[in-house]
Amino acid sequence: MRVIEVNELVKQYKGAKSPSVDGVSFSVEQGEFFAFLGPNGAGKTTTISILTTTLSKTSGEVRIAGLDVDRDARKVREHIGIISQKPSLDKSLTAEENIRFHAALYGLYGYRPSFALMPKAYKEQVTQLAEIVGISDALFTPIKKQSGGMQRKLEIIRSLIHTPDVLFLDEPTQGLDAVSRRMLWDYINEVRNRYGTTVFLTTHYIDEAENVDKVCIINHGRIAFCAAPDEMKRQIAFDPTPRVCLPSLEDAYVKFLQLNEEVA
Amino acid sequence: MYNSQLTMNHYAGVTAGSVRKPSPLFREVSTIWAIFCREISVAFKSPSTLAMSFAMPVIMMGMVGGNLTQNMAGGLGFDFGLFMLIGMMINMLFMSTSQGVATLVDDHEDNFSEEMLIAPVSRYSIVIGKICGSAFSAVVTMLGTLLVGLFMGITLSVGQFLAILALSPLICLSAGAMAMLFIGIIKNRKAANMAVMLVTMPQMFLSGAIIPITNTSGILMVVSRLLPMTYSLDLTRAVIYAGTPEYGSIVMFSPLVSVMATVAITVVFLTVGTFFYAKSEKDR
């Protein structure tokens, strides 16, 4: 079943001379791990913003879980979670207060003025999640006193607490150290494997997309390539010498962009 | 480090929690309440906001009001001190609520608005939650004004105070709706603060908060009738002065007219403002 369907999507910002996203079409199956790659300014974040209903499209059709993002925007939002490029945390609140606020917005738990007054299930869930991503010590610290990495981890907890069907990750590990990156990917992979969460990833760390089911490359607002990673490697950077067969996805991606720029 | 066993436990909890699908109504009410609580929490954590809540009544009631009372009280045929105290209290409700609602622009600049806008809730719930939260600070500022008035020797009876308190939700909603009308299309913190000042300051003079407007005519009269605070003030004074000899010289409209005008302005401004707020966030 297709959980994300994008047909001929066009987005031209007000006052812009050309579209940022220009006739993009792709689909993502339920439970798929999908990577949406491209250089800076290619149109990745614009596409994610439209898919998550926070930005209007100029034309085209976008459906999430079978629902139109314009007509059924609120229902679409019930199915999705997002970790955006720019943190969307309230810096004056503590980490836990941000999670509590999020849980209340999704109607998971009624908001109570303090953590101590929240239901037992909430307290256990948050405590365990904080332990998993390693922010237990900072759970009751104001966000403004936390590092970028800690804030990122908090966003991961927050985006998963309402168990979305589709999780959009817009450069989720930007600013994280290697250990934190590994830990978060282990966690996201576990969630995906166990609960069939569809993951839509954009990243500049191409190695993070090595194990995806499908990769699409967007360049200058258009889909330049869309296939399974191995297919991409074969088509773009296959080396027939005996000991070297398939390159890494990053090698294939870089080579593809270089070829693409040369053609352009 | 990552702990697989913990993940399993966590998801057992999540699954149990996610069985209960919240009703849309519960989610909307929960959102309004959560935003209301967040606003209060943020207000208490911000020393500058707290300082302003105490400083504003001193400046507005103590300095501006005190000077006006000393120089304008004669020959009006009614107690100017009480007239102005009521005006300043309502003005404080309006100013503080408007300033609170204007922080929607701060939320936009800090990207926190994305957290609210991505949630499966109505934009009206977000705005109403914001207005309710701002109203809390506004009521605190109004109480500060009352205290400064008491210090100046201007008193309200308990009944009069409770009447104002009872009207304050409607007044704050009206103030928030007015703020939404221009905040909805402004996406810059500096411009939003300036817009709030540009509306609230003239309103203080043109709606009859501190200067009677019963004899205002021409364009000023037209402007005064377009300002929502004119009706909020007149309604409050109608309640406070009911049955007194001064009623005729202070109150301009029947309470029913003021209620209807306040409700109509609130509904129209809130609808239009929220529409443009949602549109400007999405249409870029």
Note the helical H segments in A111-225: 120-133, 148-160, 178-195
Distances (CA, A) of A13 to A103, B95, B282: 33, 35, 11
Structural domain including A158 reads 2-227
Helix axes A120-133, A148-160, angle to 10 degrees: 140
* Same-domain check for residues A102 and A64: yes
B5 touches chain A (CB under 8 A): no
How far does the CA of residue A35 sit from the closest CA of chain B (Å)? 21
Q: Given this model, what pLDDT does residue B115 score?
A: 92
* Same-domain check for residues A261 and A155: no
Q: Given this model, what pLDDT does residue A241 score?
A: 63
CB contact under 8 A, B38 and A101: yes
Pairing verdict, β A59-64 and A166-170? unpaired
Q: What is the pTM of this model?
A: 0.87
Q: Given this model, what pLDDT does residue A242 score?
A: 55
* Same-domain check for residues A113 and A27: yes
* Same-domain check for residues A200 and A264: no
Which of B14, B46, B121 lies closest to A163 in CB terms? B14
CB contact under 8 A, A74 and B121: yes
Helix axes B123-151, B24-45, angle to 10 degrees: 40
Closest C-alpha to B235, from B169, B180, B178, B182? B169
Give the count of domains, chain A.
Answer: 2
pLDDT for residue B3 is more than 80 = no
Least confident of A23-37, B131-145, B172-186, B253-267: B172-186
pLDDT for residue B25 is more than 60 = yes
Q: Given this model, what pLDDT does residue B6 score?
A: 41
Q: Which of residues 117-146 of B touch A (CB under 8 A)?
A: 117-122
Selected for mutation to probe chain B from A21, A101, A154, A181 (highest B CB count within 10 Å) is: A101
CATH, residue A164 = 3.40.50.300
* Same-domain check for residues A251 and A182: no
Q: Given this model, what pLDDT does residue A260 score?
A: 75
CB contact under 8 A, A105 and B27: yes
Query: CA geometry: angle at B138 spanning B125 and B181, to 5°?
Result: 50
CB A180 within 8 A of CB A147: no
* Same-domain check for residues A194 and A154: yes
Q: Given this model, what pLDDT does residue B15 score?
A: 39
How far does the CA of residue B53 sit from the closest CA of chain A (Å)? 18
pLDDT for residue B187 is more than 80 = no
* Same-domain check for residues A245 and A190: no
Q: What is the pLDDT along chain A (264 residues), one digit of tens a residue?
A: 899 999 999 999 998 999 999 999 999 999 999 999 999 989 999 999 999 999 999 999 999 999 999 999 999 999 999 998 888 999 999 999 999 999 999 999 999 999 999 999 999 999 988 887 788 889 999 998 988 888 888 988 898 888 899 999 999 888 788 887 888 888 888 888 888 899 999 999 888 888 899 999 999 999 998 999 888 888 776 665 655 566 788 888 888 788 776 554
B187 touches chain A (CB under 8 A): no
B115 touches chain A (CB under 8 A): yes
* Same-domain check for residues A251 and A177: no
* Same-domain check for residues A70 and A85: yes
* Same-domain check for residues A199 and A253: no
* Same-domain check for residues A252 and A218: no
A-B interface: how many C-beta pairs under 8 angstroms? 136
* Same-domain check for residues A122 and A216: yes
